[in-house]
Structure 1
Amino acid sequence: MSMIGEYVRVTAAQLDQAIKDPEWASDLIDELIEADWEGGAAPEEDPSSTTPDAARALGARSLDVDKAWDALDFLLRRRDFPVDIIHGEAPIPGADDWGYGPPRYLTPARVQIAADALGGLTADELVADVSPQELAGADVYPRIIWERGESLDYVRGYFAVLVPFFQAAAQAGDGMLIWLD
């Protein structure tokens, strides 16, 4: 079973309700994800690519970064990124496990800080001077692809989707629910 990094944009009011009522939050994320897929807002994977279309991330309320989450975390931490956009910064009190642990969140203010910082970073800058061997040595998930020496294009592609997703959330004043599924 794979570990997939998941995101859902929520309004400030929805975030407040999610923090108070984790069961309500679980129902909400199901509704938002389903609405994205039914309405065509969710980023779709291009068969010739390993990552979703970044342009569709702008209108989406949900996003997953597949198994690139740990490499993104490693790469952002080495740049002292100001916000933990991979795991979230605060747990939702009393929330059940949503896959691989309970969900966490970012407030609208933290989403804005993240979006501003993401806007000043390109995918090429993010992966500069890092090799697949370094990721394998650091035990970055999924280690097997780094041990095989696969390209960092996979990570670049998901970073290219994550940036407009966070920028759209910040522009709307949204918070973020984040979890591994």
Structure 2
Amino acid sequence: MSMIGEYARLTPAELERAVRDPSWALKFIYELVEAGADETTGGRQPRCLDIDKAWDMLGFLLRRIEFPVDIVHGEEEIPGAEDWGYGPPRYLPPDRVHAAAAALGELPSDALVRGVNEAELAEADLYPNIAGEGLQWLKYVTHHYDALVPFFQAAAAAGDALVVWLD
């Protein structure tokens, strides 16, 4: 079984309800995923996105450059939320989504991975175990990063919040 990094865009009203009623949030987001809200259509960004197993290395790379927002794990807990796979969901309110989108817009993927070496990746002990293959994984991570940037930018433009979890 894999640990997959997941995101869902919620309007401020939906986020407010999710914080009040975490079981509603789980059902609502599950319905979004089932309805294909993770598919890009007509040039529009989806409401849901997964970054597969790239989440841990992406988090490492962002911490390495002191990125100002925790876009991998979220920054606020949904109080009373159950485990959604590998722990409870967290979220970024609209103002933090906006801050993240602005910072992401200033960070091309080549700058994200610049100067990373195999020893540094091995020492970080990342999921999945990429010992000896870390530099090959950088292309995989930047592919997912390049999908995450417009996703965050669309969420920020719409004034949305983001719910983040590992499934």
- TM bucket (normalised to shorter chain) is over 0.9
Q: State the distance in 1 between where 2:135 and 2:35 align.
A: 34
Corresponding residue for 1:158? 144
Corresponding residue for 2:36? 36
Q: CA RMSD in A?
A: 1.8
Deviations 1:94-142 (A, max 9, x none): 0000000000000000000000000000000000000243212210111
Corresponding residue for 1:148? 133
Which structure 1 residue ranges, 4+ long, deviate > 2 Å from structure 2?
145-150
Q: State the distance in 2 between where 1:149 and 1:59 align.
A: 30
Gaps (5+ residues) in structure 1? Answer: 44-54
Task: Kindly tell me the number of residue pairs found equivalent between the two proteins.
Answer: 166
Q: When the two structures are superposed, what TM-score results if normalisation uses the length of structure 2?
A: 0.93
Gaps (5+ residues) in structure 2? Answer: none
AA aligned to 2:109 is A
AA aligned to 2:8 is V
CA contact (8 A) 1:107 1:175 kept: yes
Q: When the two structures are superposed, what TM-score results if normalisation uses the length of structure 1?
A: 0.86
Q: State the distance in 1 between where 2:60 and 2:96 align.
A: 19
CA contact (8 A) 1:115 1:170 kept: yes
AA aligned to 1:27 is K
- 1:167 Cα shift? 0.2
Q: State the distance in 2 between where 1:132 and 1:62 align.
A: 32
Q: State the distance in 2 between where 1:92 and 1:149 align.
A: 33
Corresponding residue for 1:47? none
